[in-house]
Structure 1
Amino acid sequence: MAATSARTLKLLSILGIGVTLTAGELAARLGASVRTVRRDIDTLRDLGYEIEAVRGAGGGYRLGSVIRLPPVVFDEDQAVAAAVALQTVPTVLSGIRENAARALNTLHQAMPARSRLHAEAFTVLSARNYWEFPGPPIDADLVRVVGGAINRRHLIRVDHPGDGRPAPLTLEPHALVVWAARWYLVAFDPAAGRWRAMRLDGIRPHPTHTPFDRRDIPHGDPVAFVMTAHDRGDATAAWPCHGSAVLALPAATVARFAPGGSTVAYETETTCRLTLGAWSWPGLAGLLLTFDADLTDVEPAELRQALRSVRTRVGKALRPA
């Protein structure tokens, strides 16, 4: 009986992620016969779960809509993933730390002893690494408002910094992207006829409840679009040293590999200005050199001196012993 119950719960866990699988595929995952799988499906149906049989090519079984929230069923690997996510989410979302801690405690209490020990082995603490250049956590309510508009395909109005003062924009929100602990909105601007990548913490969204039709995102991937957009609304992070240089690389290339907390300005098709900060002038010089491109118009003088010092040190290192 215990083995049957465990197998049935695992079947519910598999179907709970929204997949459609044949009886044979389910049997292979459960290590049981097709006949046993069908009997377990009947058991779930008797318990009130709507297991749909989908006919035709690509058919099989799937979990249908429910009128009540079913019990959440995790296997050990899913429990570990949930536990780690609940511990790390406060690094990218503010106002959620207490709720995440409560959810993690609830998850641990609901687990069998063996699974709880397995999940608690993944207790983690988050600390800032200066090479990550992370942004500050973003307000969870802001994510909720914009994410709701994306899911419902509703236009939003945002106050967006224009030439020194906020300018209202009506946007078609398509996706949220988190990169280097920074949240970006990928949206189409109908008035300008172009796509925008915008820092989520730089806008104030207002729901309109007006529907729109989804469009094809450039590159077919919102992440790729954000990573190559040089005008995504980034600002230079606070560092002891700040400088800039014109790099002999396209803005889209530099935008993809520039450290978080830096800005990229378009100059020509083959050049752009990178502005960034670091803990020291030699550190800043080293970051610029990682692009392996010609540098011109380097500012300020302290950064130019740091580059000369780096050149001298490298020259000494290359001399014969």
Structure 2
Amino acid sequence: MNDAARLLRLLSLLQTPREWPGSELAGRLGVTPRTVRRDVDRLRDLGYPVEATMGALGGYRLVAGTAMPPLLLDDEEAVAIAVGLRTAARQPVAGIAEASLRALSKLQQVLPPRLARRVSSLTSATAPPASSFASLVDPAQLTVIAGAVTARERVRFGYVTQENVVSKRHVEPVQLVALGRRWYLLAFDVERDDWRIFRLDRISAALATGARFTPRVPPGGDATGYVTQRMYDTAPTYRARATLRLPVELARARLADFAGELTAIDDASCGWHSVEDTVDYLAFRLTLLGCEFVVHGPVELVEHMRGLGERISRSVT
């Protein structure tokens, strides 16, 4: 193995999130511990933040630095990232689409043809999720909380409840759950001594405190299952009945997988009986259509639309 190949192999090993004893690295690379130390110094000169700890349990590990160094990816990792970036471009995270597409374009430039074909096959065979969402999540907040979940670190943040009550929360974050069109955080609220589910778009000023905690087992043993059950149990859902001033085929294209039952009335309008959802999301989908419409029911949706219209009118006078 020449020097360049050995250096790349060393970097690949260090990218695994663990601490590597110098003797183990030397054995893997077939060199002496002195050569390992010299190669580590070369990586540092190239900008890779390799940290060394002394003692019997010491070793080397790659840590976070001040800049983003190049990463080495094997075939499976490159394919996973490319597919993930395409999916992320359609996620409800503010500004993530543009950043995801920029990163994807850079990755595709260097993908070998065999991997590019695999990425194309995977994405073309996978049905895309709905492209519209009821809320956007601040990616900075998402990053802080995701890091705290991984590090098992307590978090403080501001939270706005459904009743518009603002409160400060101190929690042990257990898991992020993407459900439907929103992100949720399942966490143990330290001050309330109970489990809580938080919508990510209602969280602000999230700050990891540095205080570690021992993970608790979520109710039922399954965080995703618990969040799913609670969300569907607590939020009433309805089916909208409306007349849309759109040709039926155009309405079907704009509603996509949310189309439900559409019936042509004439060349310029159709009747819509939606799939089941909450009144706020039904209202959101109606306003997103970009056409005139008349809501016939249910009464909860009619009242919600009337209140929404009044608030919008007041905002522009």
Q: TM-score, normalised by structure 1?
A: 0.55
Aligned to 2:40: 41
1:133-152 matched pairs, under 5 angstroms: 136=133, 139-141=136-138, 143-148=139-144, 151=148
| Map of 2:67 onto structure 1 | 68
User: 1:83·1:122 contact (CA, 8 Å) conserved in 2?
Assistant: yes
Decide whether the 8 Å contact of 1:8 with 1:40 is kept in 2. Answer: yes
The 1-side partners of 2:212 and 2:21 are apart by 31
Residue 80 (structure 2) pairs with residue 84 (structure 1): no
**SS class of match (2:170):** strand
Spell out the pairing of 1:1-321 with structure 2 (5 A cutoff).
3-26=2-25, 32-35=29-32, 37-64=36-63, 66-94=65-93, 95-109=95-109, 111=110, 114=112, 117-123=114-120, 124-125=123-124, 126-127=126-127, 136=133, 139-141=136-138, 143-148=139-144, 151=148, 153-161=154-162, 165-173=163-171, 174-180=173-179, 182-201=182-201, 204-207=202-205, 211=209, 213-219=211-217, 224-228=222-226, 230-232=229-231, 235=235
**Residues of 1 paired with 2:186 and 2:211: CA distance?**
15
Given that 1:22 and 1:60 are in contact with CA atoms closer than 8 Å, whether structure 2 keeps it comes out as yes
Distance 1:211 1:78, change over 3 A: closer
RMSD: 4.1
> 1:180 Cα deviation (Å)?
4.5
In 2, Cα distance between the equivalents of 1:66 and 1:208? 22
| Structure 2 segments unaligned to the other structure (5+ residues) | 242-274, 277-317
Gaps of 5+ in 1: 242-276, 279-321
SS of the aligned residue for 2:18 comes to coil
Deviation at 1:207, TM superposition (A): 2.0
Moved >6 Å (runs of 4+): 220-223
Structure 1 residue 206: Cα displacement: 3.0
Structure 1 position 25, deviation (Å) = 4.0
For 1:252, the equivalent position in structure 2 comes to: none
Provide the secondary structure at the position in 1 that maps to 2:104: helix
> CA, structure 1 residues 75+237, in 2 after alignment: closer, same or farther (shift >3 Å)?
farther
CA separation in 2, counterparts of 1:208 and 1:177?
Answer: 14
The structural deviation recorded for 1:21 is 1.5
**1:250 paired residue number:** none
* Fraction of identical pairs, as percent: 32
AA at the equivalent of 2:189: D
TM-score (norm 2): 0.56
